[in-house]
Chains A and B, each alone.
Chain A
Amino acid sequence: MPDPLKGAATNRRQFLALTGLGALAAASGGALVGCSSNKPSGPGTTSANDLSKILPQYIPNTAVKPDVAGVAGPGGAVSDAVFLKYPSSPVKTVASVPGKGGSYTTMTPLWGAIPPSSGNSYYDAVNKAIGASLKLQPADGNTYGDKLPPLFAADKLPDWIQIPGWNTNNLNFGQGVSKFADLTPYLAGDKVKEYLNLANIPTAAWAPCVWNSKLYGLPVYPGGGGINGAYFFRRDIFEKLGIKADSIKTADDLAALGAQLTSTAANQWAFDDLFGNDAAYICQMFKFPSKWGLDGSGKLIHKYEHEGLIEALNWHAKVVKAGHVHPDAVAGNNQNAKQRFWSGHVTVAADGTGAWNGDDAKSGTAANPNYRRAAFKLLSASGAPTIELRPGAGMFGYLNGNLKPEQIKECLAIANYLAAPYGSAEWLTVNFGTEGDTYTMQDGNPVLTEKGGKEVATTFQFLVTPPTPTTVQAGFVDVAKDYGAWQADMVKYAMKPPFFAMNITEPSQYSSIGQAVNDTITDVKFGRKPISAFQEAVKTWKSQGGDALRAFYEDIRQKYGTGQ
């Protein structure tokens, strides 16, 4: 039997953890002090002026030279450097063993199989190298957001935890972040010089680590060219059909490919879901903000109110109606989207740019030896394309506020080791373990052994990560080159959306008003409901708090600016 009420289950855990006493006592206590202690908390935002005093100094490490340097675009965007080979004599960036034998609990999300925790030689190798014991506890990334509120409520946070930025909305994080250690005294300004590998992380990645004018987070997978995603196509199939991908520039061009690429007799459909969760992918093509934007008169406007979203919904519903979208995608099955793309059942799919890597090529060529992934250059429904830049980091490691200063220093020294840049000896240990055991060097690049494939997972890297270049994975050199070239072109169109990299906790009473609109968007994009249903839902959204949210953000704009 399914859990009848997941909310009650969560409450149950919270309840048992909080008190062994009768809840009646708790309830009556609540009645006495409830109202007096429940002060509204602020949005957690920091002004640009305060930010400049807090952010760690940027001291780039130039010991290793990439094969292709990053390209700068507008708005501080910069593409990732490309390395085609790991440096043959990796430099050492950390002089001595950083840890002092401490033992720390951790928790990180993981999108993939959880490796064994005992007898894991990769875990052991990294723990030995850092001279401390990090007890890794990866948890399923897809349900990570549901696990966090009980941890906070019960005050059972581990010593070092990773929290993705998109999970902070539900945590009232402007308040919740105070449970973590304030790192300002250790890292602000030139204090970061004690941790040179952390100083090698660009300033843009530290900005979203700041809450309430204090530095709390450690950046995870920082990058200067982060975007929601891209429209990918099967280059091998396009070449076979003689379709020139560079000639596809507009949404209409893309839709026009539908008939040519769909052959139901051969079980091939042109498109997967091209919309993305919360319109994450299609907002680029139809030029509407992924959350808040500005209209012609400079007024704040939510994406729900933007003409572009209506156009996008009409366009997508038309493509679905024409039968050019794979039926499983229309049935909402996103888990198998990559398999559909690999097997060629789908030829065009929207995905995060992280999908374009050597492991993908490995899976794709296993299904079809000619498999080659490529992405369209930025598409646009009209005019020159633009693309919203994402903050310099999207996930963050936090240290527990109960740690003593000595322990914080030890953890930061460990963080400095984990943040050793690509090309260093430490990077190899953190990402691959021990040579000959969990990885071997092949054609100048590290490749996991069979044992490594089982034991190595993204775990330590999710606590803090150095700047992430584009590298050769699983031996696919072309993939690294293709992606590097595409990204270098893409950053030319980058723009910062309003409130860029600013941490803002919305008032919790508006937390669920978007759900109904989102559900309606799903119905309209698959053609189950007319566009008027969406407009109706937006009207309700506005009256339920959408307009109040605009006023809230307007107030933020007055007080803190828009992060431009």
Chain B
Amino acid sequence: MSAITTEKVVVQPAVEQRRRLRWHDKLRRDRSLLIMATPAVLLLIVFSYLPMFGLVTAFQQYDIYYGFNNSPFVGGYQFARLFTDRLFWQALENTLVISAVQLVLYFPIPIALALMLNSIMSAKIRSFVQAVVYLPHFFSWVLVITIFQEVLGGAGPINHFLRENGMATWDIMTDPATFKYLVTAQAVWKEAGWGIIVFLAALAAIDQNLYEAAAADGAGRWRRLWHITLPGMRSVIVLLLVLRLGNALTVGFEQMLIQRQAVGRDASEVLDTFAYFYGVVNNNFSYGTAAGVFKGVLSLILIYAANKVAHVFGEDGLYRR
């Protein structure tokens, strides 16, 4: 007990001295950091915070000719409609299911890829593999889906081979039941390579001496992986996991839109396409915005909860407590 008391006594003057710094002293001290942060903050204000005032339309019956000023306020009407709309719940369910599938099947892949890449010794082979797995990230979704259709579609080489050899065809591109796996596979092909960059950085930050020391103590490859590599990456993995959960309700707008005809609405409608079709396409901006607000609030709760859980397990999460 006494040790703690002593410590407090020692610490307190430092804290008070820090508080006593006047704001312009602080400003001078952090000048360069603040200047560096300014553009990002401005972007956030202009493109994220100011537009949030537009959310007021969710509580209106917005009409383009009356604008924000004169469109009538309808309170929670749009939300009441939303919550009794079977199609909305279907969109939410699809979003959550696809998100869950992606979390389980997609999230670990960049980590595994990064570990694999890290274990390749030849710099030449490593940069070649890196180039190959990064490339699909730069393709548009239209291109990615066209490639999938060309290869796996009913007229593609695989089905051609199956058909000509008297076997049943594989309708993966138009099967609503397996659509969630199809979109995950597409996401893995397109983005998993790009996703390894952060993990590679985390791997590079691990002290090489630890490996040497462990090897000298007789730790094998797997033990080193388990006791050094993974713990070293843990904080980055947790951070990305928390961010991923905050984005859980964003599962890909274009990807769903392009494949809507192929598998139908029941499989491909997610919150983003719902807001697009019922908001923008059919001139019902208030309804679409209400769906967007719902999504935003839910995302906020998710990211808050995930961060809490991270803190409980002693991780940093999004910020240090």
Contact = CB atoms under 8 A, between A and B. Distances in A.
A424 B277 CA distance: 45
A88 interface: no
B118 to A, nearest CB: 27
A31 interface: yes
A96 interface: no
Interface string A162-203: 000000011110011000000000000000000000000000
A146 B54 contact: no
B51 to A, nearest CB: 4
B275 interface: yes
Interface string B54-87: 1111001001111111111100000000000001
B154 interface: yes
A37 B253 contact: no
Given A149-B64, A328-B149, A6 B276 contact: yes
Contacts of B263: 528
A37 B265 CA distance: 38
A332 to B, nearest CB: 2
A508 B66 CA distance: 14
Contact of B287 (A19, A22, A27, A512): A512
Interface string A13-29: 01110110011101101
Contacts of B276: 5-7
B153 interface: yes
A321 to B, nearest CB: 12
B72 A4 contact: no
Contacts of B224: none
A27 B53 CA distance: 9
A3 B57 CA distance: 19
B64 A30 contact: no
Interface string A122-150: 00000000000000000000000110011
B261 A331 contact: yes
Nearest to B164: A265
Q: State the majority secondary structure of interface residues on B.
A: helix
B287 A23 contact: no
B260 interface: yes
B232 interface: no
Contacts of A35: 72
B222 interface: no
A327 B155 contact: yes
Contact of A327 (B66, B154, B280): B154
Most chain A beta-carbon contacts within 10 A, residue among B53, B64, B146: B64
A511 interface: yes
Interface stretch (B99-107, B108-116, B201-209, B288-296): B288-296
A94 interface: no
Contacts of A522: 261, 264-265
Contact of B275 (A6, A150, A267, A516): A6
Most chain B beta-carbon contacts within 10 A, residue among A16, A22, A345: A16
A302 to B, nearest CB: 17
B64 to A, nearest CB: 4
Given A2-B252, A2-B253, A4-B272, A170 B283 contact: yes
B244 interface: no
A4 B54 CA distance: 15
Nearest to B146: A333
A268 to B, nearest CB: 10
B153 A18 contact: no
Contacts of A511: 282-284
Interface string B283-310: 1110111001001000000000000000
Contacts of B281: 145-146, 170, 515
13 contacts: A1-B250, A11-B57, A15-B54, A26-B67, A34-B66, A38-B63, A38-B71, A172-B63, A269-B155, A333-B146, A511-B282, A519-B264, A520-B265
Given A327-B154, A515-B281, 12 more contacts: A2-B254, A6-B253, A7-B280, A23-B68, A34-B70, A35-B72, A265-B164, A269-B155, A326-B155, A512-B282, A515-B277, A519-B264
